[in-house]
């Protein structure tokens, strides 16, 4: 009769976590070989099979016994906890077979049946701590030199792997976990989340949430797996969660910046990707070593491949070379001016792009040379400056000190706002200041509301005269200022094929009451909007805002596409 060896991983210990294939293999076997405790764990499934029990240290003899019985024609199940291929019996069975000249396909048959390994079962009890690149390291130095284990811990720690420590400690092996913690602390924040799981899905199950610095204060033993988070892992109540990826961007007041689906794959939003960091091979560098003179201009030989940006970069590099301390001095003078910049964990900050919206002012539309130079310097090689429909420049820069960066921008008179789902106040230029009467009101509204977080970006347009040439009536909320009075427009649908101006809900409101009025409307939207609900939808749903009723727009006329009638 053909003998078979089933190498069965039975999972963490509970019957429900045993796979169907593992169960069938146990039933189909006439002999089961395993460590005493494991036999006890699967006892409810046994139907009179021969049991070969051995102690923990007799793994080799268990494997030999299995091979011998299978060669005699028996159906033998060798059981391992978790997965038999993870510090389990699978490799050992093959080693014994290979030493006897066995080849794949020879008698006896071997089937390795996968099981749920401790890294997975323990992770499930903690939340979702694995999620990202992870590794398992066994701290048992019985069969592996400690030097090798220490190197692996070091490498995994440095490479920001989530780490599952198997065999972390036993009665005699107590120093390994202490040494492991020491190595990890050289690379990871002391507050890195750590989960300690003992006897997952078995009697005596224990789940402890702690941090790297405190982990040794808890009970760790042979039945324990220790899960070390990566730099992004966090606790949410009892849950230990590792995000799917690294934070790409952040802005004022927040640690994360939500990206719209289409934005995710842009190279500038993945500054760490290979595509973004690849050298620009075909570009040549402008000849900054030569002094260009207006009369005898030194043309770069391959001029067509050089962009304005290349020239600007070269000029800036030159300026930076001449005046290295100017920027630093400005930063120091302005440092820490903004208290609201989120505290970003060091590891996150290194990878993420800081982005803010900047403008020369609420009414002022003129950007000075000094401001432009500063923006270019801050954006540098890896950042960018983007002009948006909201009359703002979005500055993106990698920085380790966002507060100092904001301080520098404000020191040259730039207005700095967060990006994303916030209130934006977009005023006209008040005819370059000729119609300045409305400016204080626009500034007051900006001061109170701009940058507040909302479900969906809320644009408030403020125009200084009835011409409304900056299109206030096309915004979510429009304000048209006329001789100390204000016409109020609510609920514009600012985008889409059926975009529509806002409804004129009131005329000639005294300007003094408008900031309060708008504040009440915006606060209600902030408090009551559904997730992702735009302001025009919100207005339609609630029906009345501050006494102003929503009116449905007239139904669209469906024209004949061919005849146009």
Question: Which residues of the chain form contacts with ligand SAH (CB under 6 A)?
Answer: 12-13, 80-83, 86-88, 117-118, 121-122, 166-167, 197-202, 222-225
C-alpha 317/C-alpha 329 separation (Å) is 18
Nearer to ligand SAH, 39 or 373 (CB): 39
Nearer to ligand SAH, 166 or 535 (CB): 166
187-to-210, 247, 345 alpha-carbon distances in Å: 18, 19, 13
Nearer to ligand SAH, 202 or 448 (CB): 202
Task: Work out how close the CB of 81 gets to ligand SAH at its nearest, in angstroms, rounded to a whole number.
Answer: 5
List CB contacts of 433: < 8 A, sequence separation 6 or more.
Answer: 363, 439
Token readout for 467 is 């011409």
Cβ 30 vs Cβ 135: under 8 Å = no
Ramachandran quadrant class, 231 (left: phi over 0; alpha: psi -120 to 50; beta: rest): alpha
Nearer to ligand SAH, 144 or 382 (CB): 144
227 strand-pairing partners: 164, 195
Task: Work out how close the CB of 86 gets to ligand SAH at its nearest, in angstroms, rounded to a whole number.
Answer: 4
Residue count of the chain, please give it: 565
Task: Work out how close the CB of 51 gets to ligand SAH at its nearest, in angstroms, rounded to a whole number.
Answer: 20
User: Which H or E run contains 482?
Assistant: strand 477-482
Give how far the C-alpha of residue 526 lies from the chain's centroid of Cα atoms, to the nearest Å: 25
Count Cα atoms within 13 angstroms, Cβ side, for 236: 8
**Helix, strand or coil for residue 411?**
helix
Task: Work out how close the CB of 42 gets to ligand SAH at its nearest, in angstroms, rounded to a whole number.
Answer: 13
Nearer to ligand SAH, 134 or 545 (CB): 134
Nearer to ligand SAH, 143 or 563 (CB): 143
Nearer to ligand SAH, 87 or 354 (CB): 87
Task: Work out how close the CB of 325 gets to ligand SAH at its nearest, in angstroms, rounded to a whole number.
Answer: 55
Cα torsion through 164, 167, 172, 178, rounded to 10: 0
Cβ 416 vs Cβ 491: under 8 Å = no
Task: Work out how close the CB of 421 gets to ligand SAH at its nearest, in angstroms, rounded to a whole number.
Answer: 42
In sequence order, what E strands does 101-245 have?
109-113, 127-128, 134-138, 162-166, 193-198, 206-211, 224-228, 234-236, 239-241
Token readout for 33 is 């070989």
- Alpha helices (H) in 257-351, listed in sequence order: 274-277, 308-322, 324-334, 346-351
- Report which of 258, 303, 312 is spatially closest to residue 284, judged by C-alpha positions: 303
Pairing mode, strands 234-236 and 249-250: unpaired
User: Which H or E run contains 91?
Assistant: helix 90-99
**Helix, strand or coil for residue 175?**
helix
Nearer to ligand SAH, 140 or 503 (CB): 140
**Helix, strand or coil for residue 403?**
helix
Task: Work out how close the CB of 90 gets to ligand SAH at its nearest, in angstroms, rounded to a whole number.
Answer: 9
Nearer to ligand SAH, 224 or 417 (CB): 224
Radius of gyration of the chain from its Cα atoms, rounded to whole angstroms: 34
Task: Work out how close the CB of 219 gets to ligand SAH at its nearest, in angstroms, rounded to a whole number.
Answer: 12
Nearer to ligand SAH, 178 or 265 (CB): 178
Nearer to ligand SAH, 124 or 211 (CB): 124
Measured at CB, which residue is nearest to ligand SAH? 82
Nearer to ligand SAH, 116 or 183 (CB): 116
Nearer to ligand SAH, 223 or 356 (CB): 223
Nearer to ligand SAH, 81 or 503 (CB): 81
- Report which of 396, 392, 361, 391 is spatially closest to residue 379, judged by C-alpha positions: 396
Task: Work out how close the CB of 284 gets to ligand SAH at its nearest, in angstroms, rounded to a whole number.
Answer: 55
Task: Work out how close the CB of 120 gets to ligand SAH at its nearest, in angstroms, rounded to a whole number.
Answer: 8
**Helix, strand or coil for residue 506?**
strand
Task: Work out how close the CB of 34 gets to ligand SAH at its nearest, in angstroms, rounded to a whole number.
Answer: 12
List CB contacts of 86: < 8 A, sequence separation 6 or more.
Answer: 9, 117, 118, 119, 136, 166
Cα torsion through 86, 92, 98, 99, rounded to 10: 150
Task: Work out how close the CB of 208 gets to ligand SAH at its nearest, in angstroms, rounded to a whole number.
Answer: 12
Task: Work out how close the CB of 353 gets to ligand SAH at its nearest, in angstroms, rounded to a whole number.
Answer: 39
C-alpha 88/C-alpha 481 separation (Å) is 77
C-alpha 130/C-alpha 232 separation (Å) is 11
Task: Work out how close the CB of 211 gets to ligand SAH at its nearest, in angstroms, rounded to a whole number.
Answer: 20
Token readout for 107 is 């008698």
54 strand-pairing partners: 35
């Amino acid at each position: 009769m053909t003998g078979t060896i089933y190498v069965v991983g039975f999972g963490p210990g509970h019957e429900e976590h045993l796979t169907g294939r593992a169960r069938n293999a146990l039933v189909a076997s006439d002999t089961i070989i395993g460590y005493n405790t494991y036999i006890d764990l699967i006892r409810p499934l046994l139907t009179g099979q021969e049991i070969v029990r051995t102690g923990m240290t007799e793994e080799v003899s268990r494997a030999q016994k299995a091979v011998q019985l299978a060669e005699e024609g028996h159906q033998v199940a060798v059981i391992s906890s978790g997965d038999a291929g993870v510090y389990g019996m699978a490799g050992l069975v093959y080693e014994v077979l290979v030493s006897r000249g066995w080849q794949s396909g020879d008698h006896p048959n071997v089937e390795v049946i996968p099981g749920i390994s401790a890294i997975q079962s323990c992770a499930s009890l903690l939340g979702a701590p694995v999620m990202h690149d992870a590794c398992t390291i066994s701290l048992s130095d019985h069969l592996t030199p400690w030097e090798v284990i220490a190197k692996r811990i070091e490498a995994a720690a440095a490479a920001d792997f989530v780490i599952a420590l198997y065999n972390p400690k036993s009665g005699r092996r107590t120093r390994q976990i202490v040494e492991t913690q020491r190595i990890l602390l050289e690379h990871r924040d002391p507050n890195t989340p750590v989960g300690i799981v003992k006897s997952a899905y078995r009697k005596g199950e224990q789940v402890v949430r702690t941090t790297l610095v405190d982990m040794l204060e808890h009970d760790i033993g042979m039945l324990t797996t220790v899960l070390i988070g990566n730099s992004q892992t966090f606790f949410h109540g009892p849950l230990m969660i590792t995000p799917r990826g690294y934070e790409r961007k952040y802005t004022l007041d927040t640690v994360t910046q939500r990206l719209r689906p289409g934005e995710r794959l842009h190279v500038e939003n993945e500054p760490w990707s290979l595509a973004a960091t690849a050298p620009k091979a075909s570009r040549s560098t402008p000849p900054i070593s030569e002094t260009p003179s207006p009369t005898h201009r030194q043309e770069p030989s391959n001029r067509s491949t050089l962009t304005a940006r290349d020239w600007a970069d070269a000029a800036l590099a030159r300026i930076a070379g001449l005046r290295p301390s100017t920027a630093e001095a400005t930063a120091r003078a302005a440092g820490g001016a903004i208290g609201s910049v989120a505290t970003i964990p060091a590891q996150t900050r290194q990878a993420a792009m800081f982005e803010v919206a900047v403008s020369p002012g609420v009414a002022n539309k003129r950007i000075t040379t000094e401001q432009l130079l500063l923006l270019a310097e801050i954006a540098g090689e890896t950042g960018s400056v983007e002009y948006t429909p909201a009359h703002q420049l979005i500055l993106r820069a990698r920085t380790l000190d966002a507060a100092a960066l904001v301080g520098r921008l404000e020191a040259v008179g730039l207005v700095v706002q967060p990006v994303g789902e916030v209130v934006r106040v977009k005023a006209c230029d008040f005819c370059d200041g000729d119609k300045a009467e409305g400016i204080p009101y626009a500034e007051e509204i900006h001061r109170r509301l701009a940058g507040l977080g909302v479900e969906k970006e809320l644009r408030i347009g403020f125009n200084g005269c009835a011409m409304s040439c900056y299109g206030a009536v096309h915004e979510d909320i429009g304000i048209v200022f006329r001789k100390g009075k204000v016409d109020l427009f609510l609920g514009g649908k600012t985008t889409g094929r059926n975009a529509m101006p806002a409804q004129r809900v009131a005329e000639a409101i005294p300007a003094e009451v408008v900031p309060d009025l708008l504040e009440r409307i915006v606060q209600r939207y902030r408090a009551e909007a559904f997730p992702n609900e735009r302001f025009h939808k919100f207005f339609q749903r609630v029906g009345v805002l501050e006494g102003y009723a929503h009116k449905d727009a007239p139904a669209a006329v469906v024209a004949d596409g061919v005849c146009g009638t």
